[in-house]
Amino acid sequence: MESTYIYVPGLWLYIVSTVVLLMFMTAQVPRIHLPLSKRIFWVLFTAFLWNFFLILEFMVSTIELKLLYAKFQYIGIVWLPVTWLALVVELSSYRFSKRIFAVSSIPPVIFLIFIFLVPQPNAFWGIPTLEDTSLFPMVNFHYGPLYYFGFLPFSYLMALASIVVLWRNYGTDHVHYVRQKLLLTFVLLLPGLTNLLYNFNLSPVRGLNLSTATLTVSGVLFYIILYRNSLLDLLPVTREQIVENLDEAVLIFNPQKRLIDFNHSAAKLFNLGRNSIGTGVEEIGVKELTHRLENLQDAESKTLALMQGLVYDLSLNFVRDPSSEFCQAIIVTLRDITQEQLMNQRLQILAERDSLTGLYNRHTFFFRSKELIKTNPRVRIAAIMIDLDNFKAINDTYGHAYGDLILQTIGEALLALASPTIVAGRLGGDEFVVMTTEQDLSDLASRLSKKVYDRLNVVVKEGLNPTLSVGVSSLNLASCTVEDPLEYLLNQADLAMYQAKRGGKDKIVFTGDFIPG
């Protein structure tokens, strides 16, 4: 079976096609662990086999070698429709059962048995003859009924199934995806239509099958369609993972942090449109979102984002390959929790504050006072106990509503004085207390009394002259020997306050190591 290999004019088209296919195959190797890249690789490989051995068929002169290379071509040709379908299924995230794929693999196996093992002539093809009816010496294989009524219908049926799966399951109704589906349909149909023209002797170049060349064009278009927005390793996610009418905004990014899908709420929130597919996360304009996607190791942490005056809870979920745990897509959900935050703040205020005056309640006052003592272990600290004189008489004479107004007024005055060095609270009834690390207690007590009296004068009724009895106790923590400084200070301030009452009321009594000037 001696033969020579001769380059013939016009063969460059098929050589370029083969080189292009080989380049695309090589580009998939680094990402071969991804299911989508694996399916792309097998489509390209079957097309490469067809191209490569077609070139060899054209170059040799003996009909025996031409037949041998034609047989090798058919390894790629018969499996190409199956790999196309498998690619579209993976692209659309639609799942066929393994049984369906197994059944679809039976016809290619039958065709290859006739091609390689059954002597010619057989049901697939007859005895080949050499005909010089084109740019190259062509082989007429005298195809039989298995070719026309088996292989061709099978190939076109698989192409049709691929198109149906594509339109029913790929992407969303966004204009971007509709455009992709139209182009992908063209890609799927182009080689098939070219082959159909060849089989019915309608090829633009008589007797020449241009299917391999158009298949390469389809491959180039396929890359342009899927990766036009730099969406390398793009993985479209099924629409079942995005409920379009969710109140939550949902964004889906590929591993390269580029947007591949979003729902209606996200479109409204971020003003997204059909040209937003492929947008980088930083272009969304939410620094909290960018930080989360750039620091996926912190993905479990809770993140709040402030947008348009509203508070959003930002959470991430990952779509992983079940076999490799490789992250295929990142689903970002943003939920408006503004009302929840306001409610939590209200609940926190109710838990910490006295509902009437707004001052710290008894529990929170003790907690904050202990913090103040703990953070200032070397200074003098003081407790100021304040009691409204004759409060029962005010309630009895003017009513409890007016009595509450008096208490609220005192609370407002003490809140106005609150600072990092002053903790103010209401212990109950008409008893108020202040814990402070300010050193000039005489000045503070005077300012406190003046602030309260100024406020009371605004709401006081004619003939009423409310007064305060104030007890002040102080302790130098640096030389303190008592076990519980807070309890000691409050007891001493309480005693001083009652001493002021017994002394005629409307007085300030000091006790402890502070001596007023």
* Helix, strand, coil percent values for the chain (each to nearest 5): 55, 15, 30
Q: What confidence score (pLDDT) does residue 233 get? A: 40
- CA pair distance 414, 357, nearest whole angstrom: 9
Q: What confidence score (pLDDT) does residue 226 get? A: 61
Structure tokens at 405: 């107004």
pTM of the model: 0.49
CB distance 254 to 332 below 8 Å? no
- CA pair distance 12, 19, nearest whole angstrom: 10
Question: Facing residues of 275 across strands?
Answer: none
Please state, in angstroms and as integers, the Cα–Cα distance from residue 194 to each residue in 85, 161, 208, 218, following that order.
19, 18, 10, 12
Query: Which residues are CB-neighbours of 166 under 8 A, at least 6 positions away?
Result: 88, 91, 92, 181, 184, 185, 188
Q: Which three-class secondary structure string do you get for 444-492?
A: HHHHHHHHHHHHHHHHCCCCCCCCEEEEEEEEEHHHCCCCCHHHHHHHH
Q: What confidence score (pLDDT) does residue 242 get? A: 41
CB distance 145 to 167 below 8 Å? no
Largest CA-CA distance found in the chain, in angstroms, rounded: 131
Q: What confidence score (pLDDT) does residue 113 get? A: 94
Residue-by-residue pLDDT tens, the chain, 517 positions:
556 778 777 778 788 888 888 888 888 787 777 777 788 888 889 988 988 998 888 888 888 888 899 899 999 989 988 988 888 887 765 556 677 778 889 999 999 999 999 998 999 998 888 776 656 667 788 889 998 899 889 988 988 888 888 777 666 566 666 777 777 788 777 777 777 777 666 666 665 666 666 777 776 676 666 655 443 344 444 444 444 556 788 888 888 888 888 888 888 888 888 778 888 888 888 888 888 887 776 555 567 777 777 888 888 888 776 666 667 788 888 888 888 777 777 777 677 888 888 889 888 899 999 999 888 888 889 999 999 888 888 888 889 899 899 899 999 999 888 888 899 999 888 889 999 998 888 888 888 888 888 888 888 888 788 888 999 998 888 888 888 889 999 999 999 999 999 988 888 888 876 666 5
- CA pair distance 40, 203, nearest whole angstrom: 28
Structure tokens at 372: 């103040």
- CA pair distance 249, 265, nearest whole angstrom: 5
Q: What confidence score (pLDDT) does residue 72 get? A: 94
| Ordered structural domains, the chain, with CATH | 12-227 (1.20.1070), 239-341 (3.30.450.20), 353-512 (3.30.70.270)
Helices 12-28 & 35-59, crossing angle to 10 degrees? 160
CB distance 48 to 55 below 8 Å? no
Q: What confidence score (pLDDT) does residue 237 get? A: 44
Q: Residue 313 catalytic? A: no
Residue 134's φ and ψ, nearest 5 degrees, are: -145, -165
- CA pair distance 164, 46, nearest whole angstrom: 22
Nearest Cα residue to 130 out of 120, 121, 140: 140
Q: What separation, in Å, do the N-terminal and C-terminal C-alpha atoms of the chain show?
A: 124
- CA pair distance 169, 95, nearest whole angstrom: 10
Please state, in angstroms and as integers, the Cα–Cα distance from residue 81 to each residue in 47, 156, 182, 277, 344, following that order.
10, 8, 19, 30, 59
CB distance 312 to 337 below 8 Å? yes
Please state, in angstroms and as integers, the Cα–Cα distance from residue 25 to each residue in 77, 317, 354, 433, following that order.
17, 31, 72, 79
Here the contacts of 160-166 (C-beta below 8 Å, separation 24 or greater) are: 161/85, 162/81, 162/84, 162/85, 162/87, 162/88, 162/188, 163/88, 163/188, 163/189, 165/85, 165/88, 165/89, 165/92, 165/94, 166/88, 166/91, 166/92
Query: Which residues are CB-neighbours of 396 under 8 A, at least 6 positions away?
Result: none
Q: What confidence score (pLDDT) does residue 240 get? A: 44
- Three-state secondary-structure class, residue 378: coil
Preceding peptide of 121 cis, ω within 30°: yes
- CA pair distance 133, 211, nearest whole angstrom: 18
DSSP secondary structure of 179-244: HHHHHHHHHHHHHHHHHHHHHTT--SSTT---HHHHHHHHHHHHHHHHHTTS-TT-----GGGS-T
Q: What confidence score (pLDDT) does residue 5 get? A: 78
**Active-site hit among 313, 430, 506, 513:** 430
Q: What confidence score (pLDDT) does residue 212 get? A: 66
